[in-house]
Amino acid sequence: MVKKSDDKKVAKKRSVSNFTLAASLIVAVLVGFLAGTRTNDIFISDNSLAPLKETYRALQSNYDGKLDDKTLIEGASRGMVESVGDPYTVFFNKKEAAQFSKDLNGSFSGIGAEIGKKDNSLIVISTLDSNPAQKAGLLANDVIAKINGEETTGWSVDKTVSKIRGEKGTTVKLTVIRGEQAMDFNIVRDSITDPSVKTKENGDVGIIRISRFGDDTAALTRKAAEKFQDKKAIIIDLRGNGGGYLDASKEIASLWLDTDQTVVTERVDGQVKSTLKAEGDNILKGKKTIVLIDGGSASASEILAGALQDTKAATIVGVQSFGKGSVQDVVKLRGGAELKVTIARWYTPNGKNINKKGITPDVVVVAGKNDDSNNDTQLNYALDLVK
């Protein structure tokens, strides 16, 4: 996701990386929503809104109970957005919007797992290092079949996340499908705090682990790059990184690329609408670099890996990445609500869109069945490769 202003100076966040009542209110909500899009002239006729008005009037006239206009507005807005059928276009109410912001900046209460949707299945995209989900044994690509005994069929990602989250010290039971096997996990929720960048050294190799692309990720990665500037080689670990702010991936790619080298292009209907280019100050240019990816590497992770791969700045090691090739803007709506909406498809410098395909590693290395922090097959291979 990126924070920047467009030509109209409207502040937005852009993501790449896991969302009416009386006639006058319906019109206001819909027009307000549409005004936040990039289409210059959109008009909704009274005839187009007639079925919605009719539904509201019928509900108001016949329902045996109290109606809350605020709830109806939110429900209609959510339903309209969900009807698009894009898992990355989501309506957030005020509370959900605030939680979404906290998630990207690594502060929330839950189990420490990123949830997404693939082939209509709810899956674990990644688990945060040293947090409850990882400690319990959840793995990327586990399919979430039940939560506390409830079938998740037809659930949205947002509903799934809301069911998994809860107060620190409480337990959530997940039933997941791994391969052909159903497995139960009872996981105690905890306060989740997770720095987006961690570093360690292995002899003359600096290892930079990036778990997401948040507000401070680019600055933390640059600090790590400065620390390791004199090292023989660098390993960037993007495994399990579900993405985040697009600008962060651009700024990190700039550590290797020359000013004005293309990091990523955005296209609408196949036409290039925007090109993000490196900003220079490339203190790691020419440094032998390995980037580790896996099935949990998505969105901004894939943009960074794709940019470094296409420009020959790094060797990509691991297995096929997740395959999220779209870009989202976060548009602020009235009352604190937000709309996360797909506005373009992104392409690597060589013109590849990896949607549903992922980034193909230069060297395929599969993680071992018994891998852990002390025995990491993919990392060990990368260390051997740079040494």
Query: Burial of 220 by CB count in 10 Å (0-12 exposed, 13-18 middle, 19+ buried)?
Result: buried
Q: How far is CA 85 from the centre of its chain?
A: 17
pLDDT at 300 over 70: yes
Distance CA 40, CA 283 (A): 41
Summarize the confidence of residues 85-95 as an average pLDDT.
92
Please tell me the predicted confidence (pLDDT) of residue 106. Answer: 61
Q: 17-31, 110-124, 151-165: which has the minimum mean pLDDT? A: 17-31
Strand partners, 102: none
Q: Looking at the structure, give the CATH architecture of the domain made up of residues 108-192.
A: Roll (2.30)
Catalytic residue among 12, 231, 324, 340: 324
Instruction: Provide the 3-class DSSP secondary structure of residue 155.
Output: coil
Query: What's the mean pLDDT when you consider all of the chain?
Result: 86
Distance CA 194, CA 217 (A): 12
Please tell me the predicted confidence (pLDDT) of residue 117. Answer: 85
| Residue 207 neighbours by CB under 8 Å, 6+ apart | 199, 200, 201, 234, 235, 237, 379
Q: Where in the chain is the domain with CATH 2.30.42.10?
A: 108-192
Strand partners, 347: 265
Query: Burial of 101 by CB count in 10 Å (0-12 exposed, 13-18 middle, 19+ buried)?
Result: middle
Instruction: Provide the 3-class DSSP secondary structure of residue 71.
Output: helix
Catalytic residue among 211, 299, 301, 321: 299
Would you call 299 a catalytic residue per the annotation? yes
Cβ–Cβ < 8 Å for 238, 291: yes
Q: Provide DSSP, 239-268.
A: TT---BBHHHHHHHHTTTSPTT-EEEEEEE
The overall pTM is greater than 0.85? no
Catalytic residue among 17, 310, 321, 329: 310
Q: Where in the chain is the domain with CATH 3.90.226.10?
A: 195-325+344-386
Would you call 324 a catalytic residue per the annotation? yes
Chain segment 333-380, per-residue pLDDT in tens: 999 999 999 999 999 999 999 998 999 999 999 998 878 767 899 999
Please tell me the predicted confidence (pLDDT) of residue 14. Answer: 59
Please tell me the predicted confidence (pLDDT) of residue 16. Answer: 54
pLDDT at 23 over 60: no
Chain segment 254-267, per-residue pLDDT in tens: 999 999 999 999 99
Q: Provide DSSP, 328-356.
A: EEEEE-GGG-EEEEEEEEEE-TTS---TT
Cβ–Cβ < 8 Å for 51, 45: no
Strand partners, 272: 267
Spelled out in words, what is the top-level CATH class assigned to the domain 195-325+344-386? alpha beta
Q: Provide DSSP, 160-202.
A: HHHHH---TT-EEEEEEEETTEEEEEEEE-EEEE--SEEEEEE
Radius of gyration of the chain (CA): 22
When pLDDT is cut at 50, 70 and 90, the band that residue 192 belongs to is confident
Please tell me the predicted confidence (pLDDT) of residue 307. Answer: 98
pLDDT at 105 over 80: no
Q: What percent of the chain has pLDDT over 90?
A: 65
Cβ–Cβ < 8 Å for 111, 132: yes
Q: How far is CA 289 from the centre of its chain?
A: 24
Please tell me the predicted confidence (pLDDT) of residue 119. Answer: 83
Distance CA 215, CA 237 (A): 19
pLDDT at 101 over 90: no
Q: What H or E segment, with its residue span, contains residue 51?
A: helix 46-62
- Residue 347: count other Cβ atoms within 10 Å of its Cβ: 23
